Amino acid sequence: MARRKGFRWHIAVFLAPAVLVYTAIMIIPLIGTLNLSLFGKGETGRVFVGLANFATLFGDPRWSAAFWNALANNAWFFLVHMLVQNPVGVMLAALLSSPRLRMAAFYRTAIFVPTILSFVIVGFVWKLILSPIWGIAPNMLDAVGLKSLFAPWLGREGTALTTLALVSVWQFVGIPMMLIYAALLSIPDEVIEAAEMDGVTGWPQFWKIKLPLILPSIGIISVLTFVGNFNAFDLIYVSQGALAGPNFATDLLGTFLYRTFFGFQLQLGDPHMGATIATAMFGIILVGVCIYLFAIQTRLRRYQF
């Protein structure tokens, strides 16, 4: 009979630093926030109100209108990223991995550089470029005779959010590009050669051989985009301010949370409603990630070389 192994202490010891740090700076604040959303301001300080804050957020016509507006904007923001950023990223990666492309390293770097810039710089620079007064966008359009196409995009309700989403795409397109590029490089040469032997080259080769092999990477990128977009705040705050104008057309869940939690101008901050919104955001992201993990990722076929 084999001797029962003793408790393997070293595992606990090695895990401890990470677990402790993560608990202290992530898990405890998260639980604190979830907890805070169950309280409200009473006569004598903080009182337990159960789910009343959620009832206000979803039941009160003003709160719910603001919330659904932010959520719808957020969904559109995400959709623009999925439809523009990720396909463009895949396309750029495919071009970069082409052996005939000259100066590939230069393009790779140039496209990736905006990703490492601060939101503040990106927001400010694009605001200047698109400024109807000092911006270079109107002059550049003028130079090609298309001045009539220019409009103060950031100031119109119909175009502001899409414009900002595209600015964000410009900034972050480097990330899907790099991940897909790495995935493309990891496809073994034998597979490609075998395809070529069978006469599959060019675009058919990309669609039939390479794309299925990089699908898991695209899945991961979609999840990262989803989480990033539903937590987005900085770009809107920098370029449109906390009021997310014009007329809340660019209000995302992040800016809605900020305004509620910290207050704005004469509006005093309300930590309880703020925590309620934060909890709702947490729920939305959790559901989104779960859908991906359980419904999509498990069905993706993986290839072993």
Partner 1 sequence: MTRTIRLALLASTFMAGAAAAQDVTLTVESWRNDDLQIWQETIIPAFEAANPGIKINFAPTAPAEYNAVLNSKLDAGSAGDLITCRPFDASLELFNKGQLADLTDLESMANFSDVAKSAWQTDDGSATFCVPMASVIHGFLYNKAAFEELGLEPPKTVDEFYAVLDKIKEDGTYIPMAMGTPDQWEAATMGYQNIGPTYWKGEEGRKALIDGSQKLTDEGWVEPFRQLAKWKDYLGDGFEAQTYPDSQNLFTLGRAAIYPAGSWEIGVFEPQIAGAFEMGAFAPPIVAEGDTCYISDHTDIGIGLNAASQNADAARTFLEWVGSDEFASLYANALPGFFSLNSNPVEMENAVAQEFVSWRENCEPTIRSTYQILSRGTPNLENETWNASANVINGTETPEAAAERLQEGLASWYEPQQN
The CA distance from 182 to 184, in Å, is: 5
DSSP string, 145-210: T-GGG---GGGSTTTHHHHHHHHHHHHHTHHHHHHHHHHHHTS-HHHHHHHHHTT--HHHHIIIII
CB of 94 to partner 1, least distance (A): 36
CB of 163 to partner 1, least distance (A): 10
Which of 32, 50, 59, 132 is the binder for partner 1 (CB under 8 A)?
A: 132
CB of 132 to partner 1, least distance (A): 2
Residue 176 or 271 with smaller CB distance to partner 1? 271
Helix (H) or strand (E) holding 47: strand 45-48
Q: Considering the rule CB under 8 A, would residue 258 count as an interface residue with partner 1?
A: no
Q: Considering the rule CB under 8 A, would residue 247 count as an interface residue with partner 1?
A: yes
Q: Considering the rule CB under 8 A, would residue 156 count as an interface residue with partner 1?
A: yes
Which of 54, 119, 262, 292 is the binder for partner 1 (CB under 8 A)?
A: 262
Contact 37, 271 (CB under 8 A): no
Short-list 234, 257, 253, 237, CA closest to 245: 237
Q: Considering the rule CB under 8 A, would residue 162 count as an interface residue with partner 1?
A: no
CB of 61 to partner 1, least distance (A): 9
CB of 51 to partner 1, least distance (A): 19
Residue 138 or 254 with smaller CB distance to partner 1? 138
Helix (H) or strand (E) holding 107: helix 104-112
CB of 265 to partner 1, least distance (A): 6
The CA distance from 153 to 107, in Å, is: 29
Contact 243, 236 (CB under 8 A): no
Residue 104 or 243 with smaller CB distance to partner 1? 243
Total chain residues near partner 1 (CB under 8 A): 31
Residues 6+ apart with CB under 8 A from 258: 233, 237, 242
Short-list 166, 210, 8, CA closest to 76: 166
Longest dimension (CA), the chain: 88
Q: Considering the rule CB under 8 A, would residue 266 count as an interface residue with partner 1?
A: yes
The CA distance from 31 to 185, in Å, is: 42
Which of 153, 170, 282, 292 is the binder for partner 1 (CB under 8 A)?
A: 153
Which residues ranging from 221 to 240 are in contact with partner 1 (CB under 8 A)? 240
CB of 166 to partner 1, least distance (A): 15
Q: How far is CA 123 from CA 52, 89, 170, in A?
A: 37, 21, 11
Q: Considering the rule CB under 8 A, would residue 154 count as an interface residue with partner 1?
A: yes
Q: Considering the rule CB under 8 A, would residue 139 count as an interface residue with partner 1?
A: no
Give the binding site for partner 1 (CB under 8 A).
62, 127, 130-134, 138, 151-157, 240-241, 243, 245-248, 262-270
